[in-house]
Chains A and B, each alone.
Chain A
Amino acid sequence: MSEVIGNVNTVAPLTNVKLCMQALERAMNRDRHLPGLVCFYGPSGWGKSSAASYAYNKLGAYYVECRSTFTRKAFLAEILKELGIPPLKTIHDMFDQVIEVLGEGDVPLIIDEMDYLVDKNMVELVRDLFEGSQAPVLCIGEEGLPKKLAKWERFHGRILDWVPAESVTLADATHLANLYCAGLEIREDLLIRIHDLAAGSARRVCVNLALVEEEARKKGLTGIGLDEWGNRSFYTGDAPRRGKRHGK
């Protein structure tokens, strides 16, 4: 717990948030002749979005999330909305609008759910955006993203850094407990158990922390360990959300 002092209430100390920030900072401070694309990937629920949200706020970045319905135009329109600029009519003009603003400063662009762009053959568009603006770009995607991108050699070769998200650590679990269950002491034996059951997923840790908190509240406990928890079941399946309603 000693390492989190100073930013107790932020997600910054979490492993994946740190990895994501480091990757972006490397892209921002790169030598001018190096490419500024970085790729952050991992299974869902591992905290990629938490990391993205922190980087978005911390660096004042631009953030777009891709959807399966995206066309080239829709993608550019989404970026322009994020830039706060009314879009022009043609794809060509919209592209120029985006380049102009992105090229002005060293503000990074975060592209979440990059897989959809790959599926829609729009990878070249991202590359063009980068080539035109030289703005640092962070692509976030699922575990299989690097493999999918291997097909696009011209894009693949421009990635400065591949950063795989890491599975949740015990220190992460401890920090999450401090964030989400402030005021409740969760003893280490229980935390270790929650961490073991999570199989790498930060989301699953959060679901189980919520269960533990609820149990402690029902019994009016201020601290809880394996003894108090007994052999109640934990949530081990994939949960859609930090589920107060799931797992009972």
Chain B
Amino acid sequence: MRSLKRFTLNDVWLETNMHKRTISEFIRGLVKTGHLQVVEVVDNGKRFDASVYELVKSPRDTPRVRKDGSLVTQGRARLQMWRAMKVLKTFDARDLAIHATLEDLEVAESDVKYYLRYLYKAGYVSVISRGKGMGRGGVLSVYRLKPGKYTGPKAPMIQNVRHVYDPNLNEVVWPLKEVEYEQK
């Protein structure tokens, strides 16, 4: 859609070859959020090819919308943390939670801690001063995003099998494969 700028459902289908239903639902959602506008309706008797859409807003992050126009927030907390890490460089879990929180998506300190634990294992962050204790009496660990470990704009993901996957590198970065263990 970004390259087409003006298109019908059929144009998108020809480009992507995705399921027609998927395309029409995605586009319906984008019209509701105001990213797309209907500029022309051609009455050619074909339902799938009737309206011409135009891209009005083209934000950096491709919006994930449901067909009713509501936004999918899954994965956004991690992205916000990843970005805040890049800017802050040195932080504890609370700093990061505060800076990653936006009005429509609060990031919990516990979620930050969980994410940091895995990023630490995968070698993305180092610990500057180790915290101690837990809960209210505890002191938080201070972390640092290692220089050069900002691999790209996508946040590393913790997979269901508890592996850390970096979509920028298209690699599972933790645990290391056995071969790599031997090399190190």
Which residues of A are in contact with B by a Cβ distance under 8 Å? 6-7, 9-12, 49-50, 52-54, 56-58, 60-63, 65, 81-84, 104-105, 107, 112, 179-180, 183, 217, 241-242, 244-245
With the chains together, A223 CA to B154 CA distance in Å?
Answer: 42
Query: At the interface, is chain A mostly helix, strand, loop or mixed?
Result: mixed
Given contacts A53-B88, A58-B102, A60-B61, contact A81 B152 (CB under 8 A): yes
User: In the complex, what residues of A have CB within 8 A of residue B90's CB?
Assistant: 241
Given contacts A49-B88, A65-B87, contact A9 B98 (CB under 8 A): yes
Query: At the interface, is chain B mostly helix, strand, loop or mixed?
Result: mixed
With the chains together, A82 CA to B154 CA distance in Å?
Answer: 9
Question: A57 to B92, Cβ gap below 8 A?
Answer: no
Complex interface bits, B143-161 against A, C-beta within 8 A gives 1, otherwise 0: 0000000111110000000
Residue of A nearest to B63 (CB): A60
Interface residues of B in 64-102 (CB under 8 A from A): 80, 83-84, 86-88, 90, 92, 94-95, 98-102
Question: A84 to B152, Cβ gap below 8 A?
Answer: yes
With the chains together, A244 CA to B83 CA distance in Å?
Answer: 24
How many residues belonging to B are interface residues under a CB distance threshold of 8 Å? 34
Closest 4 CB pairs of A and B: A53-B87, A60-B60, A105-B58, A107-B60
Does any Cβ of A come within 8 Å of B142's Cβ? yes
Question: A81 to B2, Cβ gap below 8 A?
Answer: no
Complex interface bits, B118-142 against A, C-beta within 8 A gives 1, otherwise 0: 0000000000010000001101101
CB distance from A178 to the nearest CB of B (A): 10
